[in-house]
Amino acid sequence: MSNYYQKEIETASREEILKIQNEKIVKQVKHVYENVPYYRNLMDQKGVKPEDIQSVDDIKKLPFLTKDDLREAYPYGLLGTDLKNCVRIQSTSGTTGKRVVAFYTQHDVDIWEECCARAIMAAGGTSDDVCQVSYGYGLFTGGPGLNGGSHKVGCLTLPMSSGNTDRQLQFMMDLNATILCCTPSYAAYLGESLAERGYKPEDNKLKAGIFGAEPWTEEMRRSIEKSLGIKAYDIYGLTETSGPGVSFECEEQTGMHINEDHFYAEIIDPKTGEVLPEGSKGELVFTSLDKEGFPLLRYRTKDICILSRKKCSCGRTHVKMTKPLGRSDDMMIIRGVNVFPSQIEAVLLKEGYTPNYQIVVDRVNNTDTFDIYVEYSPEQFSDKIAVVQAQEKALNGAMRSMLGIGPKIHLVAPKTITRSEGKAVRVIDKRKLHD
């Protein structure tokens, strides 16, 4: 068993956790009501006053927030404090109206890094470790979050960011990395790349990996564990709530403990908004209990999962969530990047193509493939290979700048994409992302 980070909180009794949550929620709702006019309006519309919230049991009286609210309030409408008190902005990969901009005070950054530190400790991390952080750095929360957590634990931190696989492997081997943090698909790719270069799993010094930001299966876990010779831990989070570290796996590897002293979780019926009892499958909703810069209350994540308070052998008492089992919206996560079909359609129309298209996503050798088939209109149609290739390249570039990743574009003859009789089938996702 690794050292606990903040054992007194992570193993606190249910009563102790509730006491912390109840104290924090009363303060937080008052803070939001006084400082966030957008949310104050929502509360007023619902007829809820801060005094109505005396404990976490009363949270269900509060209005929900959705990504649409974030879009409407973009960029400063949900800010919970003066901008001069904020020290950081992070953002999601999505663009055009789907962008989320989150603000952090130094206190918020500290909480976030503390949550990531707990995840690293739960994966066995100590100040003797060399922690290779291969999530993207920048606006994406993966790199900065795990980087901060690694510092807090006292690991020697390798801030690699994503990409440049040769350099990743060279540093991993030369500098004896013991913990790897990246998306599961990139971990699988690094494993394969080591094998291709003639290394066996036991040739590296890695002992653990902290992988998240996208769905991955138990089979994928086993395959990564085998190829890198490590134990692979899941980590979950979203930009809206800070980033990675909202929840993390312990050695039992049966779900992720939610940091309940900072985030209050509910499961709701995505259709009716009704709060469901423990053990039900539904949409995960988070209330941040002590964030200052971007203090979202009852934020609907659109991630479908199940919560469990079953006793965990690691000793931690915080509630566990399953891996996200799906989404209640149409967001896809492709190579760790959040992609909405509506963004793809917007690019096609802007570039003068028809809205007849099909998106095909698959996972081959643990890496996502991303293809878009787009129909020419009869006027656009060309059978000159050089022309078609140039147009495909241009469209790939336009997609890349909108989405952050480039799909393989296939321009096809008019009327070749099957028309559906009901709703158009725009997305064919062949990946099996959970068990």
Identify which of residues 93 and 391 has a Cβ nearer to ligand DLL in the complex. 93
Tokens linked to 154: 């006292």
* Whole-number Å distance between alpha carbons of 74 and 376: 36
- Is the CA virtual torsion 253, 232, 262, 61 positive or negative? negative
* Whole-number Å distance between alpha carbons of 380 and 411: 10
**Residues 210-229: x where in contact with ligand DLL by CB under 6 A, - otherwise, as a string:** --xxxx--------------
Bridge partners of 358? 373
Residue 355 in contact with residue 372, Cβ under 8 Å?
A: no
**Residues 347-376: x where in contact with ligand DLL by CB under 6 A, - otherwise, as a string:** ------------------------------
Minimum distance from residue 324 beta carbon to ligand DLL (Å): 4
Identify which of residues 53 and 181 has a Cβ nearer to ligand DLL in the complex. 181
Identify which of residues 61 and 99 has a Cβ nearer to ligand DLL in the complex. 99
142 binds ligand DLL (CB under 6 A): yes
234 binds ligand DLL (CB under 6 A): yes
Number of amino acids touching ligand DLL (CB under 6 A): 23
Chain residues 274-313 in contact with ligand DLL, contact rule CB under 6 A: 301, 303
Chain residues 73-132 in contact with ligand DLL, contact rule CB under 6 A: 92-93
* Whole-number Å distance between alpha carbons of 413 and 376: 6
Amino acid, single-letter form, for residue 398: A
DSSP 94: -
| DSSP H or E segment with residue 59 | none
Residue nearest ligand DLL by beta-carbon distance: 212
* Whole-number Å distance between alpha carbons of 346 and 181: 34
- From the list 47-55, 59-67, 238-246, 292-300, the region that binds ligand DLL by CB under 6 A is 238-246
Which one among 148, 149, 191, 237 touches ligand DLL, defined by CB under 6 A? 237
- From the list 53-61, 135-143, 258-266, 410-418, the region that binds ligand DLL by CB under 6 A is 135-143
- Is the CA virtual torsion 276, 279, 280, 281 positive or negative? positive
- Is the CA virtual torsion 244, 19, 317, 308 positive or negative? negative
Minimum distance from residue 331 beta carbon to ligand DLL (Å): 7
141 binds ligand DLL (CB under 6 A): yes
Identify which of residues 103 and 236 has a Cβ nearer to ligand DLL in the complex. 236
Bridge partners of 332? 339
Degrees (nearest 5) of the Cα angle 192, 197, 198?
A: 100
Where does this chain bind ligand DLL (CB under 6 A)?
92-93, 135, 141-142, 212-215, 234-239, 243-244, 301, 303, 323-324, 333, 338
